[in-house]
Amino acid sequence: MYASRLLIIFLSAVLLSYSLYQIAERITTVTLPAEGGDTLLYSNQSRDDLTKAYLQSIESAEESILLLIYNLSDPSVTHALRRKAEEGVDVTVICDGNASRRAKKYLGSSVKVYQRHDNGLMHLKILVVDDYLVLLGSANLSRHSLRIHGNLVMAFDSREIASFVKQRAKEVAIGKPSKQDTSKTFIVGSQPLELWFLPSNQKAIDRIISLIDQAKKSLKIAMYTWTRRDFAEAVVRSALRGVKIEAVIDRDSTKSSSKKIARYLYREKIPLLINTNPGLLHHKFLLVDETILVNGSANWTKAAFAKNNDCFVILLDLTEQQLSVLNSMWKTIKTEARAFKPRHPSPTP
């Protein structure tokens, strides 16, 4: 009898452990985009594990990894890249020389590292694995960016996008990015998608303004740094047409580089929020009429469009699953924000 009870207890413990293991696997495993599938969205503000998304993508590599990144300092990511290179995978990293000073030390001699010291920032944040899996968004590969700061990352299974990124990477690596053919339209799953590379692309500026101007119902904007008056004026025009505007700018940024734009929006009675949590509001996205998403590495600044190696994606015909992620993320952003009010409002001109 006693032995039977011990056996039952033992078997129950084994079953419980296995169940907990399966639950843990489901929690810690991130779904990556399927071949022919739609774009997937990940945000740490919708409870996605951005670190896991990048690590799983890196671990899946069999032949090659290309990373274009501003800040590369997360130990788990640098270790995964280094290990893959030592296993024989072709790993290339192009990073900003100032923001990622220790990249070569972290990555080791098996990884090809290009540290850029150009007039503008090497501000791209794109991972390409095995010439088909692409992750692109606002997140740097640092601990804080992946875990604390608000960010949005997009994932595609597209050999065409991977090829387009790799061509741009060759130019960025030698410090001579082309000013020609810097945008291209793709079909990913069931959706049209535009990828725009910066800088020096007036058409990119015009494209964003046109998206704001065409809004019929709503605009949602979350921006780390916003200095472009032309984008702000387009938002004000939309508000005057009756479009519902919701905008959030990083708290610290409204005290420095984004101060003028924040005050301008305030004077024009555009609802503006600032984040209250400890992390940065590091987003660079625009949501138009709940159907079009603009997201990438480019802040709404003059430098992003004139000097930096930057990019943004325009994703059209958003799916219910994508909107679910965005709505969950936006709910968190608004919960962790308060209305902007300047300490010393300037007089209305």
Query: Do the Cβ atoms of 56 and 169 come closer than 8 Å?
Result: no
Which three-class secondary structure state does DSSP give residue 114? strand
Strand partners for 69: 95
Host H or E run for residue 330:
helix 320-335
Structure letter (DSSP) for residue 300: B
Which residues have a Cβ under 8 Å from the Cβ of 258 and sit 6 or more positions away?
Answer: 223, 225, 226, 227, 249, 250
DSSP string of 248-278? EE-TTGGGTTTHHHHHHHHHTT--EEEE-SS
From CA 144, how far away is CA 147, in angstroms rounded? 5
Place of tokens 């008056």: 229
Burial class (CB in 10 A: 0-12, 13-18, 19+), 143: middle
Angle ∠(101,49,26) on CA atoms, nearest 5:
140
The domain 178-339 belongs to what CATH superfamily? Endonuclease Chain A (3.30.870.10)
5, burial (CB in 10 Å: exposed 0-12, middle 13-18, buried 19+): exposed
Task: Name the stretches of the chain with pLDDT < 70.
Answer: 1-28, 344-349
Whole-number Å distance between alpha carbons of 100 and 111:
14
Closest CA to 45 of 347, 279, 296: 279
Instruction: Look up residue 39 and give its DSSP letter.
Output: P
Residue 135 is given by DSSP the state E
Task: Tell me, yes or no, if the two domains 33-171 and 178-339 fold the same way.
Answer: yes
**Domain 33-171: what homologous superfamily?**
Endonuclease Chain A (3.30.870.10)
- Element housing 234 (H / E): helix 229-240
Which pLDDT score is estimated for 28?
67
pTM score: 0.90
Burial track 67-106 (b if 16+ CB lie within 10 A, e otherwise): bbbbbbbbeebbebbbebbeeebebbbbbbeebbeebeeb
Q: Hey, where are the domains in the chain?
A: 33-171, 178-339
**In this structure, are residues 117 and 97 in contact, taking their beta carbons and an 8 Å threshold?**
yes
